[in-house]
Amino acid sequence: MNTQRRQAMKAASAWTLVTLVAAAGWLKPGDAAAEDWNKGAFDTHSMDETLKALGGSPPAPSKDIVFFSTPDIAENGAVVPIGIRSSVPKTESIAILIEKNPNMLAAVFDIPPGTDPSLSTRIKMGQTSDVYALVKADGKYYVASKEIKVTLGGCGG
Protein backbone atom coordinates (compact mmCIF):
# COMPACT_ATOMS: atom_id res chain seq x y z
CA MET A 1 0.00 0.00 0.00
CA ASN A 2 1.03 3.57 -0.65
CA THR A 3 2.81 4.61 2.51
CA GLN A 4 2.18 8.31 2.22
CA ARG A 5 -1.50 7.83 1.66
CA ARG A 6 -1.61 5.43 4.55
CA GLN A 7 0.07 7.88 6.89
CA ALA A 8 -2.28 10.63 5.80
CA MET A 9 -5.30 8.41 6.41
CA LYS A 10 -4.00 7.48 9.81
CA ALA A 11 -3.50 11.05 10.88
CA ALA A 12 -6.81 12.11 9.42
CA SER A 13 -8.84 9.43 11.09
CA ALA A 14 -7.39 10.08 14.50
CA TRP A 15 -7.80 13.76 13.98
CA THR A 16 -11.45 13.58 12.96
CA LEU A 17 -12.19 11.78 16.11
CA VAL A 18 -10.51 14.48 18.10
CA THR A 19 -12.64 17.16 16.50
CA LEU A 20 -15.75 15.14 17.01
CA VAL A 21 -14.93 14.40 20.58
CA ALA A 22 -13.79 17.90 21.35
CA ALA A 23 -16.86 19.36 19.67
CA ALA A 24 -19.01 17.17 21.84
CA GLY A 25 -17.35 18.78 24.81
CA TRP A 26 -16.20 15.52 26.13
CA LEU A 27 -12.49 15.90 26.70
CA LYS A 28 -12.98 19.14 28.53
CA PRO A 29 -10.56 19.80 31.35
CA GLY A 30 -11.66 18.86 34.82
CA ASP A 31 -14.15 16.32 33.58
CA ALA A 32 -12.59 13.76 35.86
CA ALA A 33 -15.82 12.48 37.31
CA ALA A 34 -17.01 11.37 33.87
CA GLU A 35 -20.48 10.58 35.10
CA ASP A 36 -21.92 11.09 31.66
CA TRP A 37 -21.04 8.74 28.90
CA ASN A 38 -20.44 10.49 25.61
CA LYS A 39 -22.64 8.70 23.12
CA GLY A 40 -21.60 10.76 20.12
CA ALA A 41 -17.94 9.92 20.50
CA PHE A 42 -18.56 6.20 20.93
CA ASP A 43 -20.94 6.09 17.97
CA THR A 44 -18.39 6.89 15.28
CA HIS A 45 -18.81 3.94 12.97
CA SER A 46 -16.60 4.42 9.99
CA MET A 47 -13.78 6.32 8.51
CA ASP A 48 -16.22 8.10 6.17
CA GLU A 49 -18.41 9.23 8.97
CA THR A 50 -15.53 10.71 10.88
CA LEU A 51 -14.00 12.23 7.75
CA LYS A 52 -17.17 14.23 7.21
CA ALA A 53 -16.54 16.07 10.43
CA LEU A 54 -13.04 17.07 9.34
CA GLY A 55 -11.62 20.47 10.09
CA GLY A 56 -8.43 22.02 11.47
CA SER A 57 -5.07 20.32 11.71
CA PRO A 58 -4.36 16.73 12.74
CA PRO A 59 -2.92 15.75 16.12
CA ALA A 60 0.85 15.74 16.19
CA PRO A 61 2.45 12.31 15.90
CA SER A 62 4.49 11.90 19.06
CA LYS A 63 7.39 9.66 20.01
CA ASP A 64 6.58 10.43 23.62
CA ILE A 65 3.62 8.07 23.46
CA VAL A 66 4.59 4.40 23.57
CA PHE A 67 2.78 1.09 23.55
CA PHE A 68 4.08 -1.38 26.14
CA SER A 69 3.09 -5.01 26.72
CA THR A 70 1.18 -4.74 23.47
CA PRO A 71 1.84 -7.62 21.07
CA ASP A 72 2.11 -7.17 17.28
CA ILE A 73 -0.09 -10.22 16.81
CA ALA A 74 -3.12 -11.18 18.88
CA GLU A 75 -3.87 -14.87 19.15
CA ASN A 76 -7.46 -13.94 19.79
CA GLY A 77 -9.17 -10.69 18.89
CA ALA A 78 -11.58 -10.92 21.82
CA VAL A 79 -8.84 -9.98 24.24
CA VAL A 80 -6.00 -7.79 23.00
CA PRO A 81 -3.73 -6.44 25.74
CA ILE A 82 -2.92 -2.76 25.29
CA GLY A 83 -0.49 -0.74 27.38
CA ILE A 84 -0.01 2.98 26.72
CA ARG A 85 2.44 5.33 28.37
CA SER A 86 2.61 9.06 27.67
CA SER A 87 5.60 11.14 28.62
CA VAL A 88 4.09 14.24 27.03
CA PRO A 89 4.12 16.84 29.84
CA LYS A 90 0.74 17.65 31.39
CA THR A 91 -1.02 14.62 29.91
CA GLU A 92 -4.69 15.00 30.76
CA SER A 93 -6.25 12.06 29.01
CA ILE A 94 -5.45 8.96 26.98
CA ALA A 95 -7.86 7.43 24.47
CA ILE A 96 -7.66 4.09 22.62
CA LEU A 97 -9.02 3.98 19.08
CA ILE A 98 -9.26 0.98 16.77
CA GLU A 99 -9.48 1.94 13.15
CA LYS A 100 -11.33 -1.09 11.79
CA ASN A 101 -13.71 -1.74 14.65
CA PRO A 102 -17.40 -1.01 14.03
CA ASN A 103 -17.04 1.83 16.54
CA MET A 104 -13.61 3.39 16.49
CA LEU A 105 -13.37 4.60 20.06
CA ALA A 106 -12.71 1.85 22.58
CA ALA A 107 -11.93 3.74 25.76
CA VAL A 108 -10.83 7.07 27.14
CA PHE A 109 -9.11 7.65 30.46
CA ASP A 110 -8.91 10.98 32.23
CA ILE A 111 -5.62 11.29 34.05
CA PRO A 112 -5.74 13.75 36.98
CA PRO A 113 -2.50 15.27 38.28
CA GLY A 114 -0.72 12.74 40.48
CA THR A 115 -1.77 9.79 38.37
CA ASP A 116 0.85 8.14 36.19
CA PRO A 117 -0.04 8.69 32.49
CA SER A 118 0.50 5.01 31.87
CA LEU A 119 -2.09 2.28 31.93
CA SER A 120 -2.96 -1.11 30.56
CA THR A 121 -6.24 -2.70 29.65
CA ARG A 122 -7.68 -5.17 27.11
CA ILE A 123 -9.77 -4.48 24.07
CA LYS A 124 -11.60 -6.38 21.34
CA MET A 125 -10.55 -6.25 17.72
CA GLY A 126 -12.73 -7.62 14.93
CA GLN A 127 -9.80 -7.86 12.54
CA THR A 128 -6.24 -6.74 11.92
CA SER A 129 -6.13 -2.97 12.35
CA ASP A 130 -4.18 0.07 13.36
CA VAL A 131 -4.64 1.02 16.98
CA TYR A 132 -4.20 4.64 18.05
CA ALA A 133 -3.18 6.09 21.35
CA LEU A 134 -4.56 9.61 21.41
CA VAL A 135 -3.26 11.87 24.13
CA LYS A 136 -4.50 15.25 25.23
CA ALA A 137 -1.81 17.26 27.01
CA ASP A 138 -1.95 20.90 27.99
CA GLY A 139 -4.91 21.39 25.67
CA LYS A 140 -3.18 19.91 22.61
CA TYR A 141 -3.56 16.53 20.94
CA TYR A 142 -0.87 13.96 20.18
CA VAL A 143 -1.08 10.54 18.62
CA ALA A 144 0.87 7.33 18.18
CA SER A 145 -0.25 4.22 16.31
CA LYS A 146 0.56 0.56 16.03
CA GLU A 147 -0.74 -2.18 13.78
CA ILE A 148 -1.99 -5.27 15.57
CA LYS A 149 -2.67 -8.41 13.57
CA VAL A 150 -5.50 -10.68 14.61
CA THR A 151 -5.14 -14.36 13.74
CA LEU A 152 -7.61 -17.19 13.23
CA GLY A 153 -7.78 -19.98 15.75
CA GLY A 154 -7.18 -23.68 15.20
CA CYS A 155 -9.67 -26.44 14.47
CA GLY A 156 -11.66 -24.10 12.23
CA GLY A 157 -11.93 -21.44 14.88
Partner 1 sequence: MGMKVGARCIAGALMAIVAGGVMHGCASAPAEPDVTDRAAAMLKSSFKARGQATMDRLDQDETQRLCSEYAGRTLPASTAETIEKANLATIRYPADGKLVGDWKSGEKIAQSGQGFQYSDDPKKSAGANCYACHQLAPQELSYGTIGPSLYGFGKRRGFTDATRKYAWDKIYNAEAFAACSNMPRFGQHHILTEQQIRDVVALLVDPASPVNQ
Partner 2 sequence: MMLRTFATGIAATALAAFIGSALAESTTDEIAKYREALQDGNPAELWEARGEEMWTKPRGPKQVSFAACDLGLGAGVVKGAYAALPRYFPDAARVMDLETRLVWCMVHQQGYTEADATKTTFGNGSAHRSDLEALAAYVTSQSRGVRMNVALDEPHVHDMYRLGEKMFYYRGGTHDFACATCHGDDGKRIRLQDLPNLTKLEGAQKAYTTWPAYRVSQGEVRTFQWRLNDCFRQQRFPELEFGSDASIALTAYLAGRANGAEYNGPAIKR
Partner 3 sequence: MPDPMKIRANLLGDSTEVKVLMSHEMETGQRKDAQGKTIPAWFIQTVKVTHADKVVLAAQWGPAVSKNPFLSFKFEGGAKGDKVRITWIDNHGDTRTDEATIA
Binding site for partner 3 (CB under 8 A): 26, 31-38, 41-42, 78-80, 98, 101-103, 105-112, 114-116, 118-125
CA torsion angle for 20, 25, 29, 34 (degrees, to 10)?
-100
* Among partner 2, partner 1, partner 3, none, partner that 128 touches (CB below 5 to 8 angstroms by kind): partner 2
Residue type, 45: H
Cβ burial of 19 (10 Å; 0-12, 13-18, 19+) is: middle
C-beta of 69 vs 151, nearer to partner 1? 151
The amino acid sitting at 122 is R
Cβ proximity to partner 3, 59 vs 99, nearer residue: 99
- Pairing state between β 73-74 and 140-150: parallel
What would you report as the CA-atom Rg of the chain, rounded to the nearest whole angstrom? 15
Q: How far is the CB of 101 from partner 3 (least distance, A)?
A: 5
Q: Taking CB under 8 A as the rule, does residue 33 contact partner 2? A: no
Q: Tell whether residue 146 is a contact of partner 2 (CB under 8 A).
A: no
- Applying CB under 8 A, the site for partner 2 has a residue count of 24
C-beta closer to partner 2: residue 2 or 57: 2
Could you say which residues in the range 95-154 bind partner 1, by CB under 8 A? 149, 151-152, 154
Indicate whether 157 belongs to the interface with partner 1 (CB under 8 A). Answer: yes
Task: Identify the three-state secondary structure at position 86.
Answer: strand
Least Å distance, CB 79 to partner 3, is 5
**155: contact with partner 1 by CB under 8 A:** yes
Virtual torsion, Cα 42, 17, 103, 32, nearest 10 deg: -30
Neighbouring CB atoms inside 10 A of 70's CB total 17
Chain positions contacting partner 1, by CB under 8 A? 149, 151-152, 154-157
